[in-house]
Chain A
Amino acid sequence: MSSCIGHQLVELLKVLLDPNPLDAEKASVAATAGLNSVLDHLYRAHMDKLTTALVRPPGPRDPLVIHSGKYHALELLSFFVSKHGSRIKTFSLKHNLLQKVSQLIPVSGRELQLSAIRFLRVCVGMKDDQLIWRIVSGKLLDPVVAVFVKNGSRYNMVNSAFIEMVEFIRKENLKDLVDYLAVDHMTKFDRVKYVSTFQQLKLRYDQNQEFRTANGVFSDSDRGEEGEAQRFVCTS
């Protein structure tokens, strides 16, 4: 398949599967109902094509083959996360989609890594407790941090994407993610001085800890296994 068709198909499918198009005011009730049945059908019958593409082993090295299938699948999945609400959330929790995407990062090329980071960023951006807890409990940002650390201080898209994600987590004070990054990875960020994001993340973590101590509130990670079990009961 030519790569130009792949990009065009992704854009076409985004338009066709967008439940809130720009011309929504013109959309009739019947058309909306039709789209719901299409989305039901999509999640029942076709989503496995996208997830299978993500875990497909790379074929033999061929200079003529561009492994763009995973990239396009990720682009579509990122779009679905931002647009399909509870449908994609249920699907991703049931099929361990976030783990699959995270596992792609260490074994992929730069483009695919960036696309996977964008997918995780969209998931974080939803600010959904269950998705965030899945990221934290599975330590799904570890591969992203590893890529960031390996990249060093080179200024590129991977570097910018990760810093932007951390900045978002800090600004929105997504406490579970702040704790996870601060506790597990802060030593790795100590060397990064060219942006203040990580110092501010540490500050945010300290503020959260002070608040918890002052108010007698404990995070699930403080509670240990009991806290995790409670969270599991809530999310399952």
Chain B
Amino acid sequence: MYGFVKELVSVARTLHQEVRSVLHKQLAESSFLSVLEDAVCKVPPDSQIYMWLLVVDILSSLDPAIVRAYFATRVNAPDSLLGCLLSTVVLDSVRPKVVCFVVL
């Protein structure tokens, strides 16, 4: 699902500004950002790195004003999207484990 949405907002980048704004507004009005919020607040990046990458891509593609407006509606929420993003950004990184097979 996230992959589909990511493709959708990527394609939307090529649309005319007005059409793109309408699409972003429609997405925001259909509680789309709260779905992303649920996804990132409930799943740590270690376990679902691909989903996190998609969510970050989607948020980067959206109009920043729409995401800011959503942040403003969630200032009193205990698990807000902004809080989850900030909690994640200060986590230390883990290098992916590389397994080498030696063929004798």
Is B25 interfacial (CB 8 A cutoff)?
A: no
For residue B71, CB closer than 8 A to chain A, the reply is: yes
From A38, which residue of chain B is reached at the shortest CB distance? B71
A34, A64, A68, A72: the one within 8 Å of B68 (CB): A34
Q: How many A-B residue pairs have CB under 8 A?
A: 118
Name the prevailing secondary structure of the A interface residues. Answer: helix
Instruction: Give bound CA distance, A69 to B92, whole Å.
Output: 5
Interface residues of chain B: helix, strand, loop or mixed (majority): helix
A214 at the interface (CB under 8 A from B): no
B77 to chain A, nearest CB (A): 10
A2 near B93: Cβ-Cβ < 8 Å:
yes
Q: Check if B92 sits within 8 Å of A38, measured CB to CB.
A: no
Most buried by B among A8, A16, A28, A41: A16
Chain A residues whose CB sits within 8 angstroms of the CB of B96 once the complex forms: 2
- Chain A positions 1-17 with a Cβ under 8 Å from a chain B Cβ: 1-6, 8-13, 15-16
Residues of A within 8 A of B83 (CB): 45-46, 49
Counting CB contacts under 8 A, is A123 at the interface? no
Contacts of B97 in A (CB 8 A): 64
B95 within 8 A of A: yes
8 A Cβ contacts from A88-103 to B: none
Per the bound structure, the CA–CA distance linking A42 and B68 in Å amounts to 12
Number of chain B residues close to chain A: CB under 8 A: 34
* Option from B53, B67, B75, B82 in Cβ contact (under 8 Å) with A5: B53
User: Using a CB-CB cutoff of 8 Å, which residues 67-106 of chain A contact chain B?
Assistant: 67-70, 72-73, 76
Measured in the bound complex, the distance between the Cα atoms of B96 and A53 in whole Å is: 22
Q: Which of B89, B92, B93 contacts A10 (CB 8 A)?
A: B89
Which of B53, B57, B85, B94 is A64 in contact with, Cβ under 8 Å?
A: B94
A47 to B35 Cα, complex, angstroms: 24
Tell me which residues across on chain A come within 8 A of B45, comparing CB atoms.
1-2, 5
Interface string of B56-86 (1 = CB under 8 A from A): 1101100011011101100100001011011
Taken together as a complex, chains A and B put the C-alpha atoms of A68 and B65 apart, in Å, by: 29
Residue B91, interface by CB 8 Å? yes
Which of B49, B69, B89 contacts A2, CB < 8 Å? B49
Cα(A65)–Cα(B90), bound, Å: 13
Pick the contact of A50: B71, B86, B94, B95 (CB < 8 A).
Answer: B86
Interface residues of A (CB under 8 A from B): 1-6, 8-13, 15-16, 18, 21, 27-28, 31, 34-35, 37-38, 40-42, 45-46, 49-50, 52-53, 59, 63-70, 72-73, 76
A-B contact pairs, 28 of them (CB 8 A): A1-B88, A1-B92, A5-B53, A5-B56, A8-B57, A9-B56, A9-B85, A9-B88, A9-B89, A13-B85, A15-B60, A15-B64, A16-B67, A18-B64, A21-B64, A27-B65, A34-B71, A34-B72, A38-B68, A38-B72, A46-B82, A50-B86, A52-B90, A53-B90, A64-B95, A65-B92, A66-B95, A73-B90
